């Protein structure tokens, strides 16, 4: 889904200017390391400062700039490789091509001395097991069924986190924008976390259902192409709703300026500061 969930409510918790540092990671040469988190050191803005203005469109642009490369690396390119090798050679070659690309992505990060996220290593392990099982059974159906089951498990994890009173989105929020404990405890913000957790549970269920339906009804080559479009459409809809709910909550809390209320000069400066802060958490040069 992984990866764009509640930047607005998190960002709205912050003053206009914040000194930030990477979370224990450094830049090597001219190539910037992937900084997946930022740490707030000390708020220095005055308490009376106007709240920053941040539109839904600007949040979407930041999200695209931050995540676009990851989406291409983890989803679009492997799918294209799988389709090409499937139609040109066969299913086994397609399985191997997707696996080789994934290993290459990890090795490239190691060679460039960029951090390799644990979740990427776990995903690579899962893909390896999935590929071995599919090749051993000579079954493309098994290959694509496994992620459907994994998606359903993830949906159950989201739902379970709501049931026990610890919505998963609250735990993930700091990966997208630093939050203070005071803001995370606000009633409207905690309600937002619950709604977003339920939303992404639904996104996972819909994605699994759509994928399984297409897998059962379409030829393999057609399935590979259509599945990507269907799952991306569901994910994009989830992202749009996430941004909308987050911005609405931040505005109701008075943490970002209402539409049309940003100061003529100060508002533009604040938006630039906010974007610059997110850019520090984005990918590379």
What would the pLDDT profile of 44-68 be if each residue is shown by its tens digit? 333 445 566 666 677 677 777 766 6
Between 247 and 62, name the one with better pLDDT.
Answer: 247
pLDDT band at 134; cut points 50, 70, 90: very high
Q: What is the pLDDT of residue 64?
A: 73
Residue 7 has pLDDT above 50, yes or no: no
In whole angstroms, give the CA distance from residue 58 to residue 68.
15
Query: H or E segment at 21?
Result: strand 20-22
**Any domain includes 232:** yes
pLDDT in tens, 23-44: 443 334 433 333 333 333 333 3
**Any domain includes 154:** yes
Q: How many domains does the chain have?
A: 1
In whole angstroms, give the CA distance from residue 134 to residue 248.
45
Span 132-159, average pLDDT: 92
* Cβ atoms of 9 and 255 closer than 8 Å: yes
* Cβ atoms of 174 and 11 closer than 8 Å: no
**Any domain includes 1:** no
In whole angstroms, give the CA distance from residue 247 to residue 175.
18
Q: What is the pTM of this model?
A: 0.65
Place of tokens 């739902």: 159
Joined together, the tokens standing for residue 46 give 């005055």
pLDDT in tens, 173-202: 776 666 788 888 889 999 999 999 999 999
Span 241-263, average pLDDT: 75
Which 8-state DSSP code applies to residue 159?
H
Joined together, the tokens standing for residue 215 give 């897998």
Place of tokens 């393999």: 220
**Any domain includes 2:** no
**SS3 state of residue 281:** coil
**Any domain includes 285:** no
Q: What is the pLDDT of residue 262?
A: 52
State the residue range of the domain holding 260: 7-280
Q: Which of 36-45, 75-84, 251-260 has the highest mean pLDDT?
A: 75-84
Kindly tell me the sign of the dihedral angle through the C-alpha atoms of 51, 57, 60, 62.
negative
Whole-angstrom CA distances from 35 to 10, 95, 235, 270 are 17, 31, 23, 22
Q: Which residues pair with 21 in a beta bridge?
A: 39
Q: What is the pLDDT of residue 39?
A: 33
In whole angstroms, give the CA distance from residue 125 to residue 103.
10
Place of tokens 């930022």: 38
**Any domain includes 254:** yes
Q: What is the pLDDT of residue 276?
A: 39
For 161-236, strand residue ranges (E) read none
**Any domain includes 251:** yes
């Amino acid at each position: 889904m992984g990866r764009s969930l509640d930047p607005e409510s998190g960002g709205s918790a912050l003053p206009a200017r914040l000194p930030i540092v990477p979370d224990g990671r450094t830049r090597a040469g001219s190539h910037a390391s992937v900084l997946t988190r930022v740490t707030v050191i000390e708020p220095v803005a005055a308490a009376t400062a106007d709240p920053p203005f941040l539109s839904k469109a600007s949040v979407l642009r930041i999200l695209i700039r931050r995540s676009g490369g990851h989406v291409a690396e983890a989803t679009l390119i492997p799918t294209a490789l799988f389709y090409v090798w499937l139609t040109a050679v066969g299913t086994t070659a397609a399985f191997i091509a997707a696996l080789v690309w994934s290993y290459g992505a990890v090795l490239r990060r190691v060679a460039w001395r960029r951090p390799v996220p644990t979740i990427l290593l776990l995903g690579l392990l899962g893909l390896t097991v999935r590929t071995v099982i599919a090749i051993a059974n000579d079954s493309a159906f098994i290959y694509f069924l496994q992620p459907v089951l994994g998606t359903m498990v993830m949906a159950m994890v989201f739902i379970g986190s709501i049931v026990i009173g610890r919505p998963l989105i609250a735990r993930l929020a700091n990966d997208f924008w630093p939050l203070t404990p005071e803001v995370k405890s606000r009633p409207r913000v905690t309600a937002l976390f619950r709604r977003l957790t339920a939303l992404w549970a639904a996104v996972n269920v819909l994605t699994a259902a759509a994928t399984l339906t297409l897998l059962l009804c379409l030829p393999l080559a057609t399935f590979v192409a259509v599945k990507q479009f269907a799952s991306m459409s569901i994910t994009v809809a989830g992202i749009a709703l996430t941004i909308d709910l987050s911005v609405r909550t931040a505005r109701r809390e008075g943490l970002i300026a209402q539409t049309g209320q940003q100061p003529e000069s100060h508002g533009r400066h604040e938006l630039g500061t906010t974007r610059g802060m997110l850019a520090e958490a984005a990918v590379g040069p």
